[in-house]
Amino acid sequence: MKVKKKKIKNACFALFIATMGWLASSCTTNYQPKPKGYNRLILPETKYQSLPDSLPYQFEYSTSARLLRDTSWINEKHWVEIYYPTLKANIHITYKRLLNKDALLKEFLDDAYNLTSKQQIKAYGIDEVKVVTPLGKTALIAEISGEVPSQFQFTMTDSSKNFLRGALYFNTKVQNDSLAPAIDFMKKEVMHLINTLEWKKANSVIR
């Protein structure tokens, strides 16, 4: 009787070892975690409208976007935000008058350069290029890759009276790799803004 009990114990022990081995192998063989899913991006229509006459500059922006007053604590009179609700994207526009002062132009250019340079901590790379728009305006553009808060920035000036800076932001925690279609779309939107920008004469602005 004791022999039978010993055989039963040995059989149970062997079964236990075999079961644990099967579980271990099944838990480690070809298992891949499923990637997180993201909401499908809905890209707006490419239809445009003009800015109101109350601003000293003019450009076209999307009819799907909202024109908002700048909400930062240092906002100034002619600073605006172009907000795209479906993409949670924002083009932040700041404007300064140069008053024919070279010192102001240098100051604003240095500030713009420093703001772009701050992206280098997380950026894979920063590509800078100078372009001339169909309307004869010059823009300095910085395209920034990597997990950065702003992927596209630019400055435009006539070197004597007007200085404008723009920066693209996304108000979302989704990684930029997943935002790639939206980022590409918004870069084209910013380029349309740049290509249609004009300066207004001081006496033509409605105050």
pLDDT tens digits, residue range 49-85? Answer: 999 999 999 999 999 999 998 877 677 889 999 999 9
The per-residue pLDDT for 33 is 40
The per-residue pLDDT for 59 is 98
Question: CA torsion angle for 14, 18, 21, 22 (degrees, to 10)?
Answer: -170
Model confidence over 130-153: pLDDT tens digits?
999 999 999 999 988 877 778 899
Hey, what are 10's tokens? Answer: 């040995």
Which residues, including other chains, have CB under 8 Å from residue 38's CB and lie 6 or more apart?
174, 178
The per-residue pLDDT for 139 is 96
| CA distances in angstroms from 73 to 38, 70, 76, listed in the order given | 32, 9, 9
The residue type of 113 is Y
Q: Residue 169 and residue 182: Cα distance in Å, rounded?
A: 11
The residue type of 48 is Y
Tell the burial category of 175 from Cβ atoms under 10 Å away from its Cβ (0-12, 13-18, 19+). exposed
Average pLDDT over residues 166-188: 84
Global pTM reads 0.74
Q: Are 133 and 139 in contact (CB under 8 A)?
A: yes
Lowest mean pLDDT among 52-66, 92-106, 114-128, 137-151: 114-128
Q: Are 126 and 187 in contact (CB under 8 A)?
A: no
The per-residue pLDDT for 179 is 81
